[in-house]
Amino acid sequence: MSPKVDLHIHTSYSDGAYSPIEIIDKAYASGLSIISITDHDSIDGIRDAIIYGKEKGIEVIPGLELSTDIEDKEMHLLAYFIDYENEELNKYLKFFREERLYRAKRIIQKLRNLGLNIKIDDVLDRAKNSSIGRPHIAYTLVDLGLVKSYAEAFEKYIGDYGPAYERKIHISPQSALKLINEAGGLSFIAHPGYMKESILLNIIKSGIDGIEVIHPSHDENQINFYRGIVNQYCLLETGGSDFHGGKKNDEGNLGNYYISINHVDAMRKMLLKNTA
């Protein structure tokens, strides 16, 4: 059987439910041979995953999902084969982590103004060492009995432009591409199914290396469409489960959304070409 590759997985260092060690165990049980830890704006889970992955015979490609902004819309870029010790990358992620905390405090104040008894310490306790984000606030609201579900937290309070919404600090796609490139990595547009074609083409012209073709949110027509774009513009293809676990209700995705090792080989060839 050809090795299965999942290059879009989150851990508890961003908004995933499981530690890097638990992710490796789940990946092993799901028959995956190569994975990438792609936490949101965080690289803290990579080292543990790589070390334990070697014990289990699973290769872990250092990855990252960076938040960017284009035409007033949030857009995510996946980065692979990054040097996670790169000074500039770490400096930016430290800044972004601090900005996430400030944003969380503003959201919580808005929630308190709406009569919800939630404190920043409640959320920090929930997030632990993770880069704090809205999912941690949503889970905390559920834990405190202030909403019935994770979805309700977003729909009623903290979703985009809800009464407790606060805009997140982003860098431009061009700045994100530069950051990824300087860290020795390859850049991919994440889950583009929601994206206008004009924006997609704009990012391609900016120098993106590839597109995420396989994703749980993409139907067969979208997969064929993005694969056609990849071929038309001589780009690389990636894909994965975008696994989070826990209350995301995506436990069945791990091992069922994957790409072949041929796509990883193509990435390695591109990296060699870039360093030649």
Q: Is residue 257 part of a domain?
A: yes
Q: Is residue 171 part of a domain?
A: no
Q: What is the β-pairing status of strands 210-214 and 186-189?
A: parallel
Give the CATH number for residue 22.
3.20.20.140
* Integer angstrom CA distances of residue 92 from 97, 119, 150: 9, 27, 29
Share of the chain above pLDDT 70, in %: 99
Mean pLDDT across 22-34: 97
Q: What stretch of H or E contains 23?
A: helix 20-29
Q: Is residue 25 part of a domain?
A: yes
Strand order in the sheet with 4-9: 236-239, 210-214, 186-189, 73-80, 59-70, 32-37, 4-9, 259-260
Choose between 128 and 141: higher pLDDT. Answer: 141
Q: Is residue 166 part of a domain?
A: no
Rounded-to-integer distance, Cα 35 and Cα 49, Å? 10
Per-residue confidence (pLDDT) for residue 135, from 0 to 100: 87
Would the pLDDT of 226 be above 70? yes
74 pLDDT band, cuts 50/70/90, is confident
Whether this prediction's pTM lies above 0.75 is answered by: yes
Mean pLDDT across 46-50: 97
Residue-wise pLDDT for 108-128, tens only, equals 999 999 999 999 999 998 887
What the block records as the tokens of 26 is 């789940």
Q: Is residue 233 part of a domain?
A: yes
217 pLDDT band, cuts 50/70/90, is very high
Mean pLDDT across 129-136: 83
Q: Is residue 153 part of a domain?
A: no
Per-residue confidence (pLDDT) for residue 25, from 0 to 100: 98
How many domains would you assign to the chain? 1
Would the pLDDT of 85 be above 70? yes
Q: Is residue 17 part of a domain?
A: yes
Per-residue confidence (pLDDT) for residue 168, from 0 to 100: 80
Which among 41, 75, 12 has a CA at the least distance from the CA of 179? 41
Mean pLDDT across 158-184: 91
Q: Which domain holds residue 214?
A: 4-86+187-275
1 pLDDT band, cuts 50/70/90, is low
Q: Is residue 270 part of a domain?
A: yes
